[in-house]
Chains A and B, each alone.
Chain A
Amino acid sequence: MSAEGRDRLLALGAPIALVALWEAAVRSGLLDARFFPPPSLVVGTFWRLAADGTLLQHTWASVVRVLVGFAIGSAAGLAAGLMLGTIRSLRVALEPVISALYVIPKVAILPLVMLIFGLGEASKIAIVAIATFFIAVINTTAAVVGVEPIFLEAGRAFGARRLQMFAHIILPGALPAIFTGLRLALGTALIVIIAAEFVAAKEGIGYFIWFAWNTLRPEAMFAGFIVIGALGMLSYAAIRWIGGRLMPWQEDVASPEGRSEHA
């Protein structure tokens, strides 16, 4: 067998083996079925909840909040980061403030956000936007500052003016690191929305999992985990795809081993 074929077999086979092991462990009583329902039951529950539209309804609610919040937060973060990156005095003045606010876990300010934005959709979107904003602004600033000086020199040597420098050198030069930031931000947005939905929602995949706990249905909780995992993978693939379209010059934009995180 070729090395590639063996790799593929390992990559596919290992998870299947793990699931089989899990099933066997539950059936033989090694794992407590009250906490770890057997995969067969989880899959059955998942299909039932998917078929009757329950999962779709909750997933959709979460996805909308994440997308709207992410769009607002990343757009604001991107704009602010581009300004901070290019205007030195602004950066010197605001970077300590932003760094200080960044380290506060966004879930900690959820009560305040709910106080301000109420119990409706606005507070959920706001908390996602805030979390996204900080990651986007910090990474975008670092990305702009990190543009190789030789490219700036080359731009100036060929007579690029301020706006030309920005459009032809700084923005494309910073784009790979900006995308790394957006990938991180989207991952964080998912974490934050699940946490927010645990405590302050009547729908959404976070609410769904919390409700499953309240009603002692671990198999439904696991169905929720599957959805979250799928959302994570899907968002990762989406960012990667968009990055590839925007940056055709990159061999692989979002490869986790390829670039540093700049955070």
Chain B
Amino acid sequence: MTLHNEIPTNQTVALSDVEKAQIDKLLLETPYTSGASIDALKIIQSHRGWVSDASLLALSLYLNLPLGDLDSVATFYNLIFRQPVGKVVLHPCDGISCDLMGGQKIRLCLNKQLKITNGQTTDDNQFTLIPLPCLGACDKAPVMIANEILFELIQEEGLPLILNNLREGVSK
């Protein structure tokens, strides 16, 4: 899947018809508008890569929910990004089972190879590194999720290939 990441901007943005259609569908399933807010934020993010202030405002107007209510929710959850991310978000697991199997080394290795610390994005805007706790694949540790793919039994030596594939997967 390719993300068309929204460029950081102060300008107002409008929700696309696709986004609106998806959100409208949510609204049918919930008795109160607020019930759709988290899913709606995820829809915005799936189209824009992250949730900017401008798109948050657009959503607030569309759902007729106070901006603060949406932001309160958006900032609570780990997987809603309120800051721009790169084209691929790498989620190496930092859960205990992975660490027991050398997960920390893999993460250090990613830090080094991408020259970024956790939470940062590479200069070419290709990768953002956000470790996540236990990804539920502990028997295959260490693991990482990126582009909705689960990479299992990762070894240091295998990382360059994984990164390369991800890079190409994106530019395709």
Q: Do these two chains really belong together in a complex?
A: no
